[in-house]
Structure 1
Amino acid sequence: MKNIVILGGSYAGVSTAHRILKQATNTTPFKITLISPNTDFYWNIASPRGIIPGQIEDDKLFQPISAGFDQYPAGQFEFVVGYAESLDVDAKKVRVSNNIILDYDLLILATGTNDREGMPFKGVGSTQATKDALHGFQAKVAKAETIVVCGAGVTGVEVAGELAFEYGQTKKIILLGSGSTVLEGSPASVSKISTNSLEKLNVDIRLQTKMTSSIQKPDGRLELVLSSGERLSTDLTIPTFGLVPNTSYVPEKFLNTQGYVVVDEYLKVKNAKSVWAIGDVCDTEYSQFLSCDRQSTYVAKAISSILSDAKIPPPYQPFTSKFMGFQIGKTSGTGHFGWFRIPSFVVVYLRKTLFVERLLTTVNGSQF
């Protein structure tokens, strides 16, 4: 019996577990243990719209993880609610919260990232904590008259666009960006379309501007001190930058200077036997859904090959060009692959629901 432990209950971990369970038939007997601090899978792809009251119901953002694996034979899968505290690759042991120590033969690190400021664009510690944070944030959005979004990257543009689509005529939406353009580093045409779309929604874009500090006022509002020296009063500030990898349990020698897990061309953790890392937590390519899905597919195939004593797949081929598509409100959007711009109508059509219909099929594995 091979013990396969997967750390992380977001897309990377859940999809890989389902793929192995479906692919590894007529192989060495195995058991998968999936560890997550969350009881539910959180479809955070839709969170920029989910922070707006009344837009997306909870059951389209959250679904129980455990129930999605009831279809598999008893004893082949176990779901443990907890988080990894330490990893010993020599002894092949993982210490999990609640004094649980798990032995593994094969280990997959899929613990992802968190938002530096604790925003509900990612899970915030547990499913209930994430729901509470999301609901609390929705209430703040509803009440606020002025909202400042700090960071003009993809998340910032999506959040500002969603807010302005809903409230552009009734609330003041301000987007701060430290660069000379929105989405700095993207093709000029993508930046231009994004800027024009945001301005049509009445977003006040302020470039080459950062928030340096904030002061809580007696009336409950915040006074932001900007890098320009200007002071800006707001009811709500939304930081959309600064992801932090969830690798506190990983020995430092396996991490790069930013805290991401270093992997080789097979997505195996360098200098750690029988350990893989996939998704946002690893250092191999841009953190985005498509890359995560490709990495999950690759590692599931590699592990299925090991279980059946077959030849392992050739090295993983990461994207060398950045690929992304994003919405700006419900009727506009853009994206690019490398320096090729994806037509706006294609992005809007593909992302009109923010893929919430794929939540259930992801959790129950029917799409894999």
Structure 2
Amino acid sequence: MVDAHRTFVIVGGGLAGAKAAETLRAEGFTGRVILIGDERDHPYERPPLSKGYLSGKEERDSVFVHEPAWYAQADVELHLGQTVVAVDRDAKSVTLGEGTVLHYDKLLLATGAEPRRLDIPGTGLAGVHHLRRLAHADRLRRVLAALGRDNGHLVIAGAGWIGLEVAAAARGYGAEVTVVEPEPTPLHQVIGPELGQVFTELHREHGVRFHFGARLTEITGQDGVVFAVRTDDGEEHPAHGVLAAIGAAPRTALAEAAGLGLVDRAHGGGIAVDASLRTSDPDIYAAGDVAAAQHPLLGSRLRVEHWANALNGGPAAARAMLGQDVSYDRVPYFFSDQYDLGLEYSGWAPPGSYDQVVMRGDAGKRQMIVFWLKDRRVLAGMNINVWDVTDPIQQLIRSGAPVDLEALADPSVPLGSLNS
């Protein structure tokens, strides 16, 4: 039986919001739980949108966090296809786009992020795509299959994780792929040049063409449909489809209008939260892609746009909303699958934060672990086609202790022994 005297409202129908609702019930909360999402689909996980579902290896139903019936069974009130247009902190209420006003005792903002748009001529042509939502993946999956059938060309703006995963999926369908990237290697600002070349070679072996050191300046069309793209160095590439994969921006408009503390875009943007994921308002929390949290372990403020952060951040925020003592100190983690290469990345090592890169394993076979270090302390580790090592890698990061570099690079030395 639901106790209507307390109401927790969750704005954002993604993984963070759905897992927060699940945790509230698992922790024994008996008040109203209201989950509001601006998509008509039930809450789903995003990794399959650029991986298994997009490539045709997974079915659409596999992406959903819970079975649709779960929400009613757990007494979670779903408002799908609804947008929250205002938060009134004084009245402790949210207003939906159709005018409904909902009171809250605690509020969780899990509004996520939205894809950055290309600001060039031609973006209104048919055949220009973004990938963030399930509807985007539905459409892009059909497009890739058609391009593969007709020997069509896909141009991808951006060689980040999304761009590379879509390139791999497109090649799986047989489409021709050109990736335009202003940096000299893929993932240059994420994993640095030391490892970027590994991904260049991987994709070239599978027929992807790279155009580095350039940006798109125009998308040209024929009869209202994409026909080609031009770059700032004067090149032109044929294109029957264009994907903008140039990053995502946190959806902070609602928080900003409510007067909550934000982080400057130059420092990653997002809603500023403390280690318990609480905002500048003691009754409002934020989790997932939109939250810029003060990280107790790493000693800095991070905004992490990855699956594991939504998976774990939503439950952490829910527990904090219930008054539990929460210190969200998870080591950042993500994974990627491209062709026959699988990887996991743990830690946080942005450009300029590390002074050494150590590799263990066989780079030629793409079976290795790569470590980023500062003063011989491991900041991050990426295991490529090497499995069951995430825990010891994260232990090295958590310990903060200097490591023996020769032992770190030696595959015969167990990673677990480096913590002792």
Q: 1:243-284 CA distances to partner (integer Å, 9 max, x unpaired)?
A: 1323333334323343621212321111x1300000011122
Q: 1:124-156 CA distances to partner (integer Å, 9 max, x unpaired)?
A: xxx7x5576456545654446111111011111
Partner of 1:41: 43
Note closer, same or farther for the CA distance 1:244–1:204 as it changes in structure 2 (3 Å cut).
Answer: same
Deviates more, 1:11-20 or 1:62-71: 62-71
Note closer, same or farther for the CA distance 1:348–1:202 as it changes in structure 2 (3 Å cut).
Answer: farther
Partner of 1:355: none
Give the Cα separation in 2 of the matches to 1:22 and 1:250.
28
Give the Cα separation in 2 of the matches to 1:197 and 1:154.
14
CA contact (8 A) 2:130 2:244 kept: no
The amino acid across from 1:282 in the alignment is: A
Give the Cα separation in 1 of the matches to 2:50 and 2:236.
26
CA contact (8 A) 1:261 1:283 kept: yes
Question: Are residue 265 (structure 1) and residue 275 (structure 2) matched?
Answer: yes
CA contact (8 A) 1:20 1:300 kept: yes
**TM-score normalized by structure 1?**
0.79
Where do 1:17-166 residues align within 5 Å?
17-24=21-28, 29-38=30-39, 39-49=41-51, 52=54, 54-62=56-64, 66-72=68-74, 76-81=75-80, 82-117=82-117, 119=129, 121-123=131-133, 133-134=139-140, 137-138=143-144, 141-142=147-148, 143=150, 145-166=152-173
Note closer, same or farther for the CA distance 1:70–1:349 as it changes in structure 2 (3 Å cut).
Answer: farther
Q: 1:187-215 CA distances to partner (integer Å, 9 max, x unpaired)?
A: 54532321221111111112111111112
Structure 1 residue aligned with 2:325, among 307, 310, 313?
313
Gaps of 5+ in 2: 118-127, 294-301, 348-371, 373-379, 391-420
Question: Are residue 328 (structure 1) and residue 328 (structure 2) matched?
Answer: no
**TM-score normalized by structure 2?**
0.70
Q: RMSD of aligned C-alpha atoms? A: 2.9
Deviates more, 1:152-161 or 1:56-65: 56-65
Where do 1:172-251 residues align within 5 Å?
172-185=176-189, 186-218=191-223, 220-251=225-256
Partner of 2:357: none
Give the Cα separation in 2 of the matches to 1:51 and 1:316.
31
Partner of 1:356: none
The amino acid across from 1:45 in the alignment is: P
Partner of 1:289: 307
Partner of 1:344: 384
Give the Cα separation in 1 of the matches to 2:114 and 2:86.
18
CA contact (8 A) 1:5 1:32 kept: yes
Deviates more, 1:83-92 or 1:56-65: 56-65
Give the Cα separation in 2 of the matches to 1:209 and 1:87.
42
Give the Cα separation in 2 of the matches to 1:314 and 1:56.
35
Give the Cα separation in 1 of the matches to 2:140 and 2:315.
31
Partner of 1:279: 288
Give the Cα separation in 1 of the matches to 2:223 and 2:130.
26
Partner of 1:4: 8
CA contact (8 A) 1:265 1:315 kept: yes
Give the number of aligned pairs: 327
**Identical amino acids, percent of aligned pairs:** 21
Shift in Å, 1:53: 7.0
Secondary structure of 1:191's counterpart equals helix
Shift in Å, 1:106: 0.4
Gaps of 5+ in 1: 307-311, 351-368
Greater per-residue strand proportion: 2
Give the Cα separation in 1 of the matches to 2:58 and 2:326.
41
The amino acid across from 1:57 in the alignment is: E
Give the Cα separation in 1 of the matches to 2:238 and 2:185.
23
Ranked by relative contact order (alpha carbons within 8 Å, sequence separation 6 or more), the top structure is 1
Give the Cα separation in 2 of the matches to 1:60 and 1:349.
26
Deviates more, 1:139-148 or 1:91-100: 139-148
Shift in Å, 1:54: 4.4
Shift in Å, 1:166: 3.5
CA contact (8 A) 2:10 2:17 kept: yes
Shift in Å, 1:37: 2.2
Secondary structure of 2:155's counterpart equals strand
Give the Cα separation in 2 of the matches to 1:204 and 1:344.
23
Q: Over alpha carbons, which structure has the higher Rg?
A: 2
CA contact (8 A) 1:176 1:209 kept: yes
Give the Cα separation in 2 of the matches to 1:324 and 1:152.
17
Give the Cα separation in 2 of the matches to 1:59 and 1:116.
27
